[in-house]
Amino acid sequence: MGDTTRSSPLPPASATGFDLAAERDACGIGFVAHVDGRPRRSIVAMALEGLCGVKHRGAVAADARSGDGAGVLTQIPRELAAAWAGELGAADADPERTGLAMLFLQAGDGDDERAARTSARDAFAQACSDEGVELVGFRDVPTDAGAIGEMALAAQPALVQAVMLRPVGLGDREAERTAYRIRRRARKACEAAGVRFYVASCSFLTVTYKAMADADQLDAFYLDLRDERYVSALAIYHSRFSTNTAPSWERAQPFRTLCHNGEINTIDGNLNLMRAREGQFVPGEMSVDGVDWATQELLPPVIDHDQSDSAKLDAALELLVLGGRDVRHAQSMLVPQVWEGSRDLEPAVRDFYRYHSCLIEPWDGPAGLIFTDGVRVGAGLDRNGLRPLRYHVCEDGTIVASSEVGAVSTSLPTDHPDHRGTVRRERLGPGQVLCVDPTEGGLQEDREIKLRLGAGAPYGAWLAERLTAVNAGLPIEAVPADLHQRQLAYGITKEEIISILRPMATQGRETTSSMGDDTPIEALSHVRRPISHFMKQRFAQVTNPAIDHYRESEVMSLRTLLGPRASVLTEGPEAADLIELGSFFLYPEGLQRIVMSPDLPFSVQAVDATFPVSDGPAGLAAALARLGDEAVGHARAGAGVVVVSDVGADVERARVPILLAIGAVHQRLLAENLRTATSLVAETDEARETHDAATLLGFGADAIVPRLVLQTIADLADEGRIGGDNPSASVAQGRYRNALEDGVLKIMSKMGISVLDSYRSAQIFECLGLGSDVIDTCFTGTTSTLGGLTLADLATEVLEQHAEAFPVAGPDGEVSLPALASPGIIKWRKGGEFHDMSKPVVDALHDVLGLGRAPTTAPFRLDGAGVSTEVDGTTAALLRTAAAEGRTELYERFSATVQARPAAYPRDFLVPHNPAGPIPLDEVEPVEAITRRFSTGAMSHGALSAEAHETLAAALNMIGGKANSGEGGEDPARFRTRWSALDLDCRMKQVASGRFGVTPEYLANAHLLQIKIAQGSKPGEGGQIPGHKVTEEIARLRHTTPGVTLISPPPHHDIYSIEDLAQLIFDLKQVNPEALVD
């Protein structure tokens, strides 16, 4: 392998702060409307009642009075708005022409604050003038400061309403576009001036009142809402619970077109791809009925990066509606139901979704939505149905939808003045929608809406005429003569072939093995690592749960489209001029058929991801720049697919790591507003395992052709070295493909993402160990807190690897190639990668424990009565013997062995700093108080032997700590040792997604019940015990069948929201009221 040691430690990290991209919420939502569309005071009153009814779904700050956020959106109360216009001097204002803008401006009484408010008002006034809109004036929104908490007051902006009059004869849709342009103009002017300016709403149809308040404070705070003249035909409401965000006035909901309960797991990809589409928003594309309604100067960015995920979704919905689509149509584009594998969907509806997938990817994640265009109001659920939405249809025409039954009183006695007649109660299912549209007869439920959407255009005919379906191609038949040399050049190791590739090729899935990585981080590794290893997968949990891709396979899809994407604002057959693949995977023969196809409406071009060896380390950066230039040129020339190929490495040219190449091209196309003009295919001899594929897809690849690994598998099969049932070369490649695709599905499911279109380009990774030049060039926006290796460092490694694969010939002219390396990354081996728990360390520990001098037997046994007895020869006894004999040199040798290991993790560079010196013992807590905080890791009986599990429990009970049972249950006999000399009962008992071993007796014997939300060693995946480890003993404790593989589902199938979690906590407390729950 040569000298592959990395000598330089990580450079200092750059300063980091709160990541706005991480913002998520879990909230209460709802709407109230009447089918006749006539404004009523009762609609507003019921919405405020509903808001109070979901108060428990919101949250308050430490002062107990400052809420996370609450708000209502209604139609503009026409008579009241006209009265406000009259107060501002427009005595004869036409109520139907009034518009309102709710502005959050700089608060404060200082000169600078007053100047900032004046500047913001002037900017808004100028924007109105530019758009030909009469600005009547500004009014300070009347409020009661005593209604909200001190923290909310301290953060409160100046609340100002602009009263406007629309031009005579301007229709609703065009008036809303005008209001949109006013908002964009004013904001850009304020941004340029550095002035605080936020528009909660700006419309000639609707107005939003929201605050950093609790749900029951809103109408007490905003005095306008108490006015009996405040009427509306529809109202939507929202109470916010910030799961991992800081509350603010701006983040309160509703926004301008919707409110949202949930989390958009795909938000990074949606944001990146919407940014890519901004290059399409040019004259012509922004026109409706031949008139451009927005300009490219006004729009970018369509979505603000510093908004919450809900606000970003609102901006996308608003864009589609203003672009000419019906609000139901737009919502169904952004949050489609499952259609790919659904067998009972009408063909026209399926064609609707299939067509629109050519335009935009799903905004995927748990989502309950309430949406409106100011005339219609509706509700919808995500494709998995992971948020509750129920609705009541009242006989008097009132429609109520809410997160919870009972938020709004609909079932009142017949003699009650607000009695609404018979009430029909329903709930929305996964992917379903409903809408109240007074212009088309009132209430429309899911099937009616979907059939209307499907009949809106000849989508099926467009698809049949334009969309080209292509299969993955045929497996490789011929294996190149230089296979071994290419394996060396691209870093394939013997260890990977044995431990990763052969199981994938024989079993059709990733191999099952123990988790936990005790090797150094990649930047400190002593062996070369693929760039993908520097990328760490993120995962979802609780309120945005992982998906169980085994049990929920019908909602998962790897469907892939190749070709230039039409603008999301278009609707025509040309949007379907694409290639459709079953997945991201292509055999080389499949790629060749695409390249050679004469029927495509676009060309396919390739860029060479190699660089001259003679250029030295500087050649890598130059190659990345060249790749970007060439890809941009091809995209501008009409190439609908660009193949980024690293397979051209030879004696004179070294490979560009394929992840760097894809990332650099993707980022360059984004910067040039060309990313939607072309698709990227990675033709690679480097990528081989599922994480490689996931990173390529996550950083921009649309499809992957893993050529060399297929050749390697074919060679193993041809030579009879594949193992298993010795499949043929074609069968083995097919199984590898299945394993690769299943592995990508599992990785997607960890983030709660079910559709590859939404995962692609989402960059749902954090980087550990790459420097800023690598991130800026190839992975823009990816978190790399510690910095690390530079492009020059990576180039040096590539060139070293290239020199091993293409060595200089000896004096006799012969070239001697080394064998494939076994670096010992997966399993420790002498001379290989460093492992924390290496053989020398374990041997030294065994010496300390006396294991090197005597065998061990079971530390404890339970007799029939459940009484424990200690047995000689145990680990604990031998350790006591070693200590009694004064064998401290053994521990010192063990300690020295541990301390002498090389730096492997960032913590190894931390040096404790205590300038004050030792603290006297009488000034610190006693030992007993400290040890009470000790606990063991949550390792189950099954992951650990009974002996080890019981020993840990006994030790922690001796010192007053808590042993954690893990998720595998516990022998009931151990519960009865609690008051004996040797207490083996685990005080901390886990309840995991598989509920293994969870019984009333188990729960009743816990001091602390721990709900295991995610698997620590396999986050987002769930735990697993192979069938051969499920013995009679393990099966008895887990209440299952011996020999059956046990898998804990990635999510708790009864926890998809904070209310689900609260329900489980409540249930557990019914069994054990005294136990703490965490």
> So what's the pLDDT on residue 873?
37
Residues 570/753, Cβ–Cβ less than 8 Å: no
pLDDT, residue 728, reads 96
Q: Strands 679-684 and 703-706, how do they pair?
A: parallel
Segment 703-726 shows an average pLDDT of 96
Predicted model pTM: 0.89
* Mean pLDDT to the nearest integer, 383-393: 90
Least confident of 193-197, 385-389, 418-422: 418-422
Q: Is the pLDDT of residue 290 over 60?
A: no
Catalytic residue among 27, 128, 394, 767: 27
CB-CB contact of 423 with 411 (8 Å): yes
Instruction: Count Cα neighbours of 82 within 13 Å in the Cβ-side half-sphere.
Output: 11
Write the CB contacts of 31 (distance below 8 Å, at least 6 apart in sequence): 47, 234, 235, 236, 237, 370, 372, 377, 378, 379, 399, 400, 401, 402, 436
Asked whether residue 856 carries a pLDDT value surpassing 50, the answer given is no
Distance of CA 812 to the CA centre of its chain: 58
Q: What is the model's pLDDT at position 603?
A: 96
**Is residue 27 flagged as an active site residue?**
yes
Label the pairing between strands 769-770 and 788-789.
Answer: parallel
DSSP assignment letter at 365: S
Q: What is the mean pLDDT of residues 121-142?
A: 97
Is residue 109 within 8 A of residue 179, CB to CB? The reply is no
pLDDT single digits (tens) 786-809 = 899 999 999 999 999 999 999 987
Instruction: Give 813-823 pLDDT, tens digit per residue.
Output: 787 899 999 99
Q: Per residue in 26-52, pLDDT tens?
A: 588 999 999 999 999 999 999 999 999
What does the pLDDT look like over 352-383, one tens digit per residue? 999 999 999 999 888 999 999 999 999 999 99
Q: Quick count: other Cβ atoms within 10 Å of Cβ 64?
A: 10
Average pLDDT over residues 479-493: 95
Residue 4 has pLDDT above 60, yes or no: no
Q: Is 48:225 a contact under the CB 8 Å cutoff?
A: yes
pLDDT at residue 81, as a whole number: 97
Domains within the chain, CATH numbers bracketed: 21-76+213-465 (3.60.20.10), 77-204 (3.30.70), 483-508+533-805 (3.20.20.70), 923-1078 (no CATH)
Q: Considering only CA atoms, which of 743, 709, 626, 634 is closest in space to residue 679?
A: 634
